[in-house]
Each structure stands twice: as C-alpha cells, then as structure tokens.
Chains A and B, each alone.
Chain A
Amino acid sequence: QVQLVQSGAEVKKPGSSVKVSCKASGGTFSRYSISWVRQAPGQGLEWMGTIIPICGVANYAQKFQGRITIIADESTSTAYMELSSLRSEDTAVYYCSRDPGNGCNYGYYFDYWGQGTLVTVSS
C-alpha cells in the first residue's frame, strides 16, 4: 500500500520561499511520478508540476514557471516542491500525489495522495 506523508503546515512572509516534502512508502519510488496539486481556500484543484524520478525530469505548469522547483531524492523516497516569491494568493493546501506511470511515461492520473500541507502567506 502506497503512502505519501507530507511535511507540516507553514506560515511564510510575502516574497519568501517555501519547501514542502512528500515521503513515499510502499511501491518503488523511482518507478512512478510525483505530482503537486494545490487548492486555495474554497477553490478548486490546480496542477502545479510533475517529476519523474527515474528520468530526472520535472515538468511545470506555465503559471508557475520560474517560481517552482520539484526535485526527488530516491535515496529517501522523498519528493520536494519549492515555491518562491510567495504572495498572498499562494495561500493554499498543497498536495503531492502519485502518478502510476512506468519508466519515463506518465500514468495520466493520480491514485494516491498525501494528506496535504497548508501554506499560509501573510505579512
């Protein structure tokens, strides 16, 4: 059974950065992709980016290009999402999720999700 456990809630100042972790257990970490999805208060889900650890490739939504970095540490089965130049509109719950692709291919859906990490951006 795959489990994704995320780091705890964060409070950040505008202009700063946040780094959220997502530790996976069960399954083989490098065999699947990890995506990050966020949800602002009272709003819908928004895809931010996906990393395929075995390929060392990360792809990002155009909206976040230049502000987001997703990396994966295969030795600890942990993925990280860093978002910089934070503004109040970045206040949201950030989820990591598993995309059960194989090799360098996406699976094209998200079957396991982390518990979510609330990031609050406030001065």
Chain B
Amino acid sequence: QSALTQPASVSGSPGQSITISCTGTSSDVGTYNLVSWYQQYPGKVPKLMIYEVSKRPSGVSNRFSGSKSGNTASLTISGLQAEDEADYYCCSYAGSSRYVFGTGTKVTVL
C-alpha cells in the first residue's frame, strides 16, 4: 500500500486561503468517504482536524474545511493565520481493515 500523495509544501499570506491536495487511488480515497486530516506541530502529537471527508470535530475552527473529488481529497484553510503553520497529513481507509496516510504537507504562513 503506497502512501497518499500530498504536496511537500504549501504557503500563503495571512488572510489568504490555501488548499492541500491528497491523491490516492480507486482502492482508497476514490472508494471510501473516510478521509481524515491531521495537524501536527514540530515535536507535538497529531491533532484531528477533519473526518469523513468534511466533518469537523468539536473545537476545530470553521476555517478548516474538507472535500473530495474522485481519487483526490482536499483540505482548505481559509483566513490563514500564523498559528496554522504546521504539518498536515491526510489519511484514508483503504479497505480490508487497513489505513493509509499521506506523505505530509508543510504549511508556511508568509
């Protein structure tokens, strides 16, 4: 099972919107609406930001939103803030009781 493909880095200015893509295959992202996203600061524990493609857990800012089209899921951060600078990982259910994570994207706030 290969990792889902994410851009290595995405950057934006404060207040802008950015989108992080997560490309899988018809065996994972394309088949299941079971994509989640995690935010991770350096040296810290990952935090759930989005689950089931577009649902936000309680306490997560509504500036974070998720979507999916075909084999590609996306995480959009609107109104970018300095505190959003972190690494972001997507994860998809891949069938047969397996999960696969994305390669990770470093978000930089200019």
Contacts and interface: CB of A to CB of B under 8 A. Distances in A.
A45 B52 contact: no
Interface of B: 1, 3, 32, 34, 36, 38, 40, 45-48, 51-52, 57, 89, 91, 93, 96-104
Contacts, number: 65
6 contacts: A37-B46, A44-B101, A44-B102, A45-B38, A109-B51, A116-B45
B106 to A, nearest CB: 11
Interface residues of A, number: 23
A111 B56 CA distance: 11
Interface in A1-38: 35, 37
Contact of B46 (A57, A62, A63, A95): A95
Contacts of A95: 45-46
Nearest to A99: B99
Nearest to B37: A109
